[in-house]
Amino acid sequence: MLKKSELYKMAVIGDKDSIMGFMAVGFAVRTADNEHEAVGHLHALAAENYAVIFITERLAEKAGAEILKYRDNPLPAVIVIPDKDGATGYGMKLIKRSVEHAVGADILFKN
């Protein structure tokens, strides 16, 4: 099942203004204006050899469960990033959720 060191690509999903810059650094860029488009792109990218897929927080939050599906598989890593309007804290929430899953209580973010 584990393929040895192959070439994989990186992609980013989000609204046009937020992800335009990633084109310049060689990412595959998929624009999505709503969560349905984003989920469609996500599934398509995951089926290809994309190892890391960045997705903007606002879209990821709305897509919810579809993103969480990829949590337990080694590839692809679906990582949420802030969009042009700043961080919503959803990315941190996901880390918090991992901690709660593993430890049973939140011990990293004491607030």
Partner 1 sequence: MAEIKVNPTRMELKKLQLRLNTARRGHKLLKDKRDELMKQFLDIVRENKRLRETVEGSLVSVHRGFSTAAAVSSPEMLETALMLPKKESDLSVSYKNLMSVNVPRFKPMQDMEAGGGILDSLNYGFAFTSGELDSAVSELSRLLPDMIRLAEAEKAAQMLAAEIEKTRRRVNALEYIMIPQLQEGIRSITMKLDENERGNTTRLMKVKDMMIEKQFAAKRQTAHPQ
List the one residue from 65, 74, 110, 111 that touches partner 1 (CB under 8 A). 74
Of the candidates 36, 41, 26, 21, the residue with the CA atom closest to the CA atom of residue 84 = 21
Stretch that binds partner 1, among 35-43, 58-66, 87-95 (CB under 8 A): 87-95
> Taking CB under 8 A as the rule, does residue 60 contact partner 1?
no
C-alpha span between 86 and 71 (Å, rounded): 24
Structure tokens belonging to residue 62: 């709305």
Whether 54 contacts 80, CB under 8 Å: yes
Whether 90 contacts 99, CB under 8 Å: no
> Taking CB under 8 A as the rule, does residue 86 contact partner 1?
yes
Residues 4-43 that bind partner 1 (CB under 8 A): 4-10, 17-18, 20-27
Q: What is the DSSP letter of 86?
A: B
Residues that bind partner 1 (CB under 8 A): 2-10, 17-18, 20-27, 51-52, 54, 71-72, 74-75, 77, 79, 81-84, 86-87, 91-92, 94-95, 98-99, 101-104, 108
